[in-house]
Amino acid sequence: MGKVAIKSRRTWSYPVAILMLGVFTVGIVFPPLARADLDDVCLRCYNFINRIFPPAPAEDIAKYRKSWNPFVAGPMLNPAIDIQPQGQTVIHPYFFGEVGHQRFGNTFGTGKLTDSPVHLSANFIIVPFEYGVTDSLEASIAVSWIDWFATQQNFNPNSTHNANGLGDTSIFLKHRPIVQDPDSWRPTVTFYHNVVLPTSQWMGTTPIPGGFAPIGRLPSTRFGNLSLTEGIMMRKNLKPFRLMGAVYYSYATPGNTAGQNKYPSDLVNWRLMLEHVLDDSRGFGYMIELVGLHGLAWRLDGHDVNVPAMASAQGFPQSSPTFSIIGIQPSGGVLFTPIGQSQLNAIYPNFTIYYYWGSKGRPVMMR
């Protein structure tokens, strides 16, 4: 079956409206600050942020920063659980690929692989900009670009089978109210708050087959959907190991196709990581990462789910709204998906580069 390409009108009205709303909101909420001097503005904003996001005790942060915690890059497949120190910035481009020719059946497991109606190759670049607002709060924005090529059974030359363009944009906060204690079992606990703006849809980027960009650094959400994600992340250092885990819940706002309302399922992402540091001085070691993505049978707003996990194709049964995919990545920079349901079985090569800037000229600090 040929894939139906849905045209999306290019417009700047949505991002401009959001920008104007943000400017007006600041002016309404903080009108007295506009008349104060700059130092007073900064102090009042800092105190306001700390009231909303209570900081971890300063003595806990100081103790943690003196403990064993070598400066290495991992993990690849999860937002960093520790945050940037106040005033410190990091920019780290991530390059993710995806190659898949088979799909899992409607029953969760390792078997029942069939030739997929879509053979997909995709490249996905995501660039997060992260800034330490306080020692307990980090603000970030991540822009992305996607390029994909797909061949299909029963090829329809009138269908679009390759596209590239701007991906979705993530704006997220990480709040770390609890810092691990090196002398006890207490872990670091960080809360994750994320809004995904459908900039791909606004800019007319053709959606990728299957509806998801390649599995990457941030929790997966549906391509081209306005989505809200809440998560909790934990980390514990036990020399020479570091253990990390996270769970995220995502809700996508309803969509509309050809006059019909579309209600995709809510999503659960989870990540587990084990890091073994072999050389502290060089930051050398290896990691094993597990990734899970699950489409649920319900939505928080109570609407019935009416979007299948994968688009139907001639000669293939209709997939259910629910789906699952579990991937494993050793330190080789390639994620494999040995277990799944109603999703493409693929491999995901990946690579990243980090750039750090310390605050006010001071050297980069450990988190």
Architecture (CATH level 2) of domain 56-361 = Beta Barrel (2.40)
Cα four-point dihedral sign 103, 206, 98, 336: negative
pLDDT at 239 (0 to 100): 94
Residue 291's closest CA among 348, 265, 329, 235?
A: 329
How many other CB atoms are there within 10 angstroms of residue 165's CB atom?
14
Distances (CA, A) of 103 to 32, 114, 344: 58, 6, 4
pLDDT in tens, the chain (367 residues): 333 333 344 444 555 555 655 655 555 555 555 545 667 777 778 788 888 888 899 999 999 999 998 877 667 888 889 999 999 999 989 999 999 988 888 888 887 788 888 889 999 999 999 999 999 999 999 999 999 998 875 555 555 578 899 999 999 999 999 999 999 999 999 999 999 999 999 999 998 988 899 999 999 999 999 999 999 999 999 999 999 999 999 999 998 776 788 899 999 999 999 999 999 888 788 899 999 999 999 999 999 998 876 654 444 455 567 899 999 998 778 999 999 998 899 999 998 888 888 877 677 776 7
pLDDT at 315 (0 to 100): 43
200-211 b/e (C-beta count within 10 Å ≥ 16 → b): bbbbebbbbbbb
Q: Torsions phi, psi of 152, nearest 5?
A: -130, 150
pLDDT at 9 (0 to 100): 42
Query: HSE (CB half, 13 Å, CA atoms) of 185?
Result: 0
Domain boundaries of the chain, sorted by first residue: 11-52, 56-361
In a 10 Å sphere around its CB, with 0-12 CB exposed, 13-18 middle and 19+ buried, how is residue 32 labelled? Answer: exposed
Distances (CA, A) of 96 to 123, 124, 146, 150, 352: 6, 5, 10, 17, 9
CA distance linking residue 187 with residue 178, whole number of Å: 8
pLDDT at 107 (0 to 100): 84
> Helical H runs in the chain?
13-29, 38-52, 58-65, 199-202
Per DSSP, which regions of the chain are E strands?
89-91, 94-103, 114-134, 137-152, 162-166, 169-178, 188-197, 227-238, 241-252, 255-257, 260-262, 267-279, 284-295, 323-329, 334-341, 344-352, 355-357
Question: Whose structure tokens read 């990581």?
Answer: 273
